[in-house]
Amino acid sequence: MSNPLLSTFSTPFSTAPFTEILPSHYQPAFIEAIAEAKKEIEAIKLVNLPTFENTVEALEKSGKQLGIISSIFFNLNSAETNDEIQKLAREISPLLTAHANDVLLDQELFQRISQVFEQRANLSLTAEQTTLLEKTYKSFVRNGAQLEKIDADTLRKIDQELAHLSLQFGEHVLAETNKFVHLVDNLSELEGLPQGALDAAAQLAEERGHSDCWAFTLDYPSYIPVMTYAKNRALRKTLFMAFNTKCAKGDDLDNQEIIRQLVTLKQQRAKLLGYESHAHFTLEERMAKSPATVLEFLQSLLEKAKPKAQLEVKEVAALAKNLDQLAVLEKWDFAYYSELLKKEKYALDEELLRPYFSLENVISGVFETASRLFGLRFVANSKIPVYHTEVTAYEVYDRENRFLSVFYADFFPRPGKRNGAWMTSYRGQFKEGNVDHRPHVSIVCNFTKPTKTSPSLLTFNEVTTLFHEFGHALHGMLARGVYESLSGTSVFWDFVELPSQIFENWCYEKECLDLFAHHYQTGEAIPADLVEKIKKAANFQQGYMTLRQLSFALLDMAYHSQNPDQIQDIKAFENEVLKETELLPSVEVTRISTSFSHIFQGGYAAGYYSYKWAEVLDADAFELFLEKGVFDLETSISFEKNILSAGGSEHPSLLYARFRGRDPKPDALLKRSGLVLG
């Protein structure tokens, strides 16, 4: 039987043949694809005179099959994994790390690239070609090409161990999340929970073999309603403690030692390559450029946000004391009393919004928003194979009715899917001669599931999350680059959040909400007064939320810019780093770090600040839409051309200035967040 991963995909648009792939196909496919990639590298080294075309472009084009197989496998390891896939990941990851090291430490190949790089001023390259040449050269230099053999061997060992530990970290978080379930058999203990949350909890209990009770897990759609609405303080504390002690219990799923090993190895790697720290290494290829710049940026936001955050916490504490004689406001109390305060201040009940945000309507809305801005059209295609029955695949077409992309949407939590929301791709976009190979893009979320009595009804926060991830997807779908490594979301990580975060802004505009926010039962459009309340409440506790994001960014920077030998006790380290952002009593047994997958499993190490950095860009960019009109065609075309389609073809500062007509200013963000008057 042939291996479908090694055959030409005979599927619509050559999409991944998910239904044909067995776990047993992966390892042989990786081994063969790595061997083929090595042959392609050797062929590059055989050509006598190195040129941009026969060396740099040829290297860019090599390993395409390996890239597609890797995308399929590792995306499924995040969205639809199991014990067998995780075991394979532990076996396959070292093979890929070794192959990457073989390429980047290949002295003969590096010498050829160096020769082309030295001649770059005389090569008449396009801006995109220049970017590719510089990026290729830097990637070799920054990853050990100039090391002596003994140091190169050390680097190989470090990279292997980092890959192994990162996988292990993620496996532990998923296992810890999946094993927790809290059963409640008395309805009186669930006072305050909305009917939709009760129905979902009853359905979850039934699915897990329990009758006449309600089940709660650490998946966001189960956890968040309890923390926000449950009057039962003991229940809130139970779930809070479970959620915030993930992988910190001293058992076989504990991640604390893994964290110490990860940060130590990253520091060793950076030192080996001539950098002061992992943060210095990482930020060299970011808009921010240095840890000092990042810390100065974070500190400036901290100074503006903290006074407002302190007042916000006092306000919540006062309400808790007034309503329930609560002497000390604990972390498991904050969301509950904040929601009561929001209702009191803005007469806005988040649960009253849900009926206007059925998932089906929100999907239609996000598609219509993309249509009005960028002329896109989405057509569901059931013939495109998917990896789970809950996934829907779409064909995407542009203004000229040309095929643009395949788009996968996967919305609900399940045991094989990690928490959170993300965008990814199964195939990147690139051009080969006159052929434009279009991308296959996916968004993966964990939204409120349908129940027996209602469809999936989203919170407003879930609506903004969908728009956020779809903004990333647009960055991928609208890519028009020549080279895959510079296409779509292949940009500096403190720039990549601009398309996602700017797209959230449309959720607050009546002109956009009127397109899709209709009551799922009556079809009634969302009332104007509710839209106004949403806009007025947009700044609610922005000081506190800013401090929360800053705490994550500061913790990330502390792990990756300081001497890790000083990190003996994870909790003590967290307490020291977060003392300026902590406004509620610390809970000794909890840990942020042990399930901080963004920086210890994902690619945000020394990069979590990017969310706040990109907020400056998105607020500044959206201000232009507000001036011209939120669906202004000229502004939309400019944003598509200069930001979304351009990918990483040029430095993001140049691309942004072309769109905005100037460099970004922080004024719009500070005004939007209510941190300054104006």
- pLDDT tens-place string over residues 43-74: 999 999 999 999 999 999 999 999 999 999 99
Judge if 533 and 568 occupy the same domain. Answer: no
Q: Which of 218, 244, 270 is the last residue of a domain?
A: 244
Q: Specify whether 576 is located in the same domain as 654.
A: no
Structure tokens belonging to residue 349 = 């009940």
Selecting among 57, 469, 497, 509, the annotated active-site residue is 469
Q: Is residue 421 part of a domain?
A: yes
Q: Residue 458 phi/psi, 5° resolution? A: -85, 150
The answer as to whether 172 is a domain residue is no
Q: How many CB atoms lie within 10 A of CB 391?
A: 19
- Quick one: pLDDT at residue 1? 66
In a domain, 173, yes or no: no
198 in the same domain as 125 = no
Residue 191 covered by a domain: yes
Whole-number pLDDT of residue 678: 46
The residues, any chain, with a CB within 8 Å of residue 419's CB and separated by 6 or more, are 173, 177, 218, 219, 220, 413, 446, 597
Residue 167 included in any domain: no
Any idea what the CATH number is for the domain that residue 580 is in?
1.10.1370.10
Non-local CB neighbours of 485 within 8 Å, separated by 6+ positions: 60, 132, 135, 648
Question: Residues 524, 380: one domain?
Answer: yes
Q: Are residues 116 and 189 in the same domain?
A: no
Of 630, 644, 624, give the one whose Cα is nearest residue 376: 644
What ranges in 478-609 are assigned the alpha helix state H?
A: 497-504, 510-513, 528-537, 542-561, 570-577, 597-600
The reply to whether 373 falls in a domain is: yes
Rounded Cα gap, residues 12 and 403, in angstroms: 12
511 plus 379 within the same structural domain:
yes
The distance of Cα 497 from the centroid of its chain, to the nearest Å, equals 9
- Joined together, the tokens standing for residue 551 give 């705490």
Residues of the chain with pLDDT under 70: 1, 677-678
Long-range contact list for 642-645, CB < 8 A, 24+ apart? 643/475, 643/498, 643/499, 644/374, 644/474, 644/475, 644/478, 644/479, 644/499, 645/478, 645/479, 645/480, 645/481
Written as six digits, the tokens of 388 are 């789970």
Q: Would you say residue 165 lies in a domain?
A: no
Cα distances (angstroms) measured from residue 511 to each of 182, 339, 526: 42, 27, 11
Look at residues 264, 245, 265 and name the one whose alpha carbon lies nearest to residue 255. 245
DSSP string computed for 612-654: HHHHHHHHHHHHHHHHH-TT-HHHHHHHIIIIITTTTSS-HHH
* 480 shares a domain with 373: yes
DSSP letters spanning 113-161? HHHHHHTGGGS---HHHHHHHHHHHHHHHHTTTTS-HHHHHHHHHHHHH
DSSP of 175-189, one letter per residue?
HHHHH--EEE--GGG
Where residue 508 sits, what CATH number does that domain have?
A: 1.10.1370.40
d(CA 46, CA 336): 67
The confidence score (pLDDT) of residue 566 equals: 84
Model confidence, pTM: 0.96
**Tell me, what CATH number does 78's domain have?**
1.20.1050.40
| Residue 374 sits in the same domain as residue 426 | yes
**Domain boundary at 91, 121, 146, which?**
146
Residue 469 is a catalytic residue: yes
The pLDDT value given to residue 138: 98
How far is Cα 474 from Cα 610, in angstroms, rounded to an integer? Answer: 19
Q: Residue 34 is inside which H or E element, if any? A: helix 23-46
Taking a C-beta distance cutoff of 8 angstroms, is the pair 361, 381 a contact? Answer: no
521 and 553 housed in the same domain = no
Instruction: Note down the domain range covering 426.
Output: 355-540+611-672
Angle (deg, nearest 10), helices 331-346 and 233-244: 120
Rounded distance between C-alpha atoms, residue 155 and residue 272, angstroms: 8
Establish if 616 belongs to a structural domain. yes
Residues 127, 64 within the same domain: yes
pLDDT at 519: 97
Residues 141 and 278 in one domain: no
* pLDDT at position 124: 96
3-state helix, strand, coil in the chain (%, to 5): 60, 5, 35
Burial of 252 (0-12, 13-18, 19+ CB in 10 A): exposed
In a shared domain, residues 500 and 367: yes
Write down which residue in 608, 627, 653 finishes a domain.
608
Domain count, the chain: 4
Burial class (CB in 10 A: 0-12, 13-18, 19+), 661: exposed
